[in-house]
Amino acid sequence: MIRKTRLFTPGPTPLLPAAQFAMAAADIHHRTAEFRALFLKVLAQLKIFVGTKNDVLLLSCSGTGAMEASVSNLTSPGDRVLVLTAGKFGERWVELAKAFNCQADVVKAPYGQTFDPGQVREALKPDARAVYMQATETSTAVRHDVESIAKLIQESNSGALLVVDGITGLGTTHFDVDGWGIDVLIGGSQKAVMIPPGLAYLSVSEKAWAAMESAKNPRYYFDLRKERKNAVKGESAYTPAVALVAGLGAALDYIAGQAGGDLGKGRIALVDNAQINAAATRAGLTALGFTLFAPAAPAAAATAVAVPEGIDSGVVVKALRNRFGLIVTNGQGEMQGKIFRVAHLGFFDCLDTIALLGAMEHIAKDTLGLPVTYGSAVAAAQKVFAEAASSS
């Protein structure tokens, strides 16, 4: 039987065909009027996609490059920062803070959970330079409440900058960047915007620009002030990933096209799409007898699923790949073998989710030996889709 490869990983995610065509055709030199027009167009689109009046910069690097830039550009050695961590990506903020000699106060939540606001309030010191967090912690598929952390910072007397890794949050979560006061919000190309890895984008508030003037940590390739100056002219400081920029433009056109050409509305539709697919996946897998790893605060970017005691989640990952060509991902670090993760961000539709659940029915029965009634997972998901359709 034919097995189509179907990517269900939370980055890289499935590619949009229109973006692939745009990338294949993008043999443009980056110091030309043609590229400048493209770059300016994409930067303007990104502002709408992020939903902010702040500057949005585009960097040629994976998401971690923009995370590093938001430490190196905003802090000085010895600065106190607050890091909220509940997974592998939160731990990356801790490592970055250390790499740039910041003094990191750390609020930790167990894997699969989110933060206790009281603990965050207590840990936020008046001299904190910045608070670093994820919008969605992809390693555990947990959504953190950015709005309430933002409010808590506003109500404190700290004046700390709020820096949010929205790499899987953008396109799966609604943000009010300017209303809440998010100073830096970071996205990555291989997540909800349906193109390959290699670009990161970030919004930067006026408060963050001002903070950069006094920040003393070293930076060279990721000098945001230099990028801002160049971006005004439609350029980047160094050779950008030209083909990816063309692909990103096509992907943002597609997202706008889903809402009659209105990118702001298209972004909302993309978020709703991820949320509905995530809800349907949770309903389907729960109906099959699986336990969700993050039931209290599930992300729409991905769903983390626990496997029954005594079973290695790698067995599920392997069986889905070998039998159906369906690629999901194992847990990271200590979570390896305990969970598997299924993505919903970007170019997924309800029929993709039904395909996944159909495959999971076979895996649950034949690989894990669970009692399965065929159609039970699919039926639970169909109900979620039907409700979503009737309420929209």
Q: Which residues bind ligand PLP (CB under 6 A)?
A: 10-11, 62-64, 89, 134, 138, 165, 167-168, 188, 197
> Would you state the torsion angle of the CA atoms of residues 226, 231, 235, 237, taken in this order, to the nearest 10 degrees?
10
DSSP 3-state of 83: strand
Concatenated DSSP letters for 202-237? EEE-HHHHHHHHH--S--STT-HHHHHHHHTTT--S
CB of 193 to ligand PLP, least distance (A): 12
Nearer Cβ to ligand PLP, position 224 or 319?
224
CB of 49 to ligand PLP, least distance (A): 17
CB of 136 to ligand PLP, least distance (A): 6
Would you state the structure tokens that stand for residue 4, as one six-digit string?
């189509």
Q: How far is CA 52 from CA 164, 276, 348, 366, in A?
A: 14, 25, 25, 49
* Sequence-distant (≥ 6) Cβ neighbours of residue 123 within 8 angstroms: 82, 105, 106, 107
* Alpha carbons 387 and 24: distance in angstroms, whole number: 40
Nearer Cβ to ligand PLP, position 136 or 382?
136
CB of 138 to ligand PLP, least distance (A): 3
CB of 344 to ligand PLP, least distance (A): 13
Nearer Cβ to ligand PLP, position 165 or 352?
165
CB of 63 to ligand PLP, least distance (A): 3
Nearer Cβ to ligand PLP, position 166 or 266?
166
Which phi and psi (to 5°) does residue 314 adopt? Answer: -60, -30
Nearer Cβ to ligand PLP, position 167 or 256?
167
Contact between 131 and 81 (Cβ < 8 Å): yes
Nearer Cβ to ligand PLP, position 93 or 180?
93
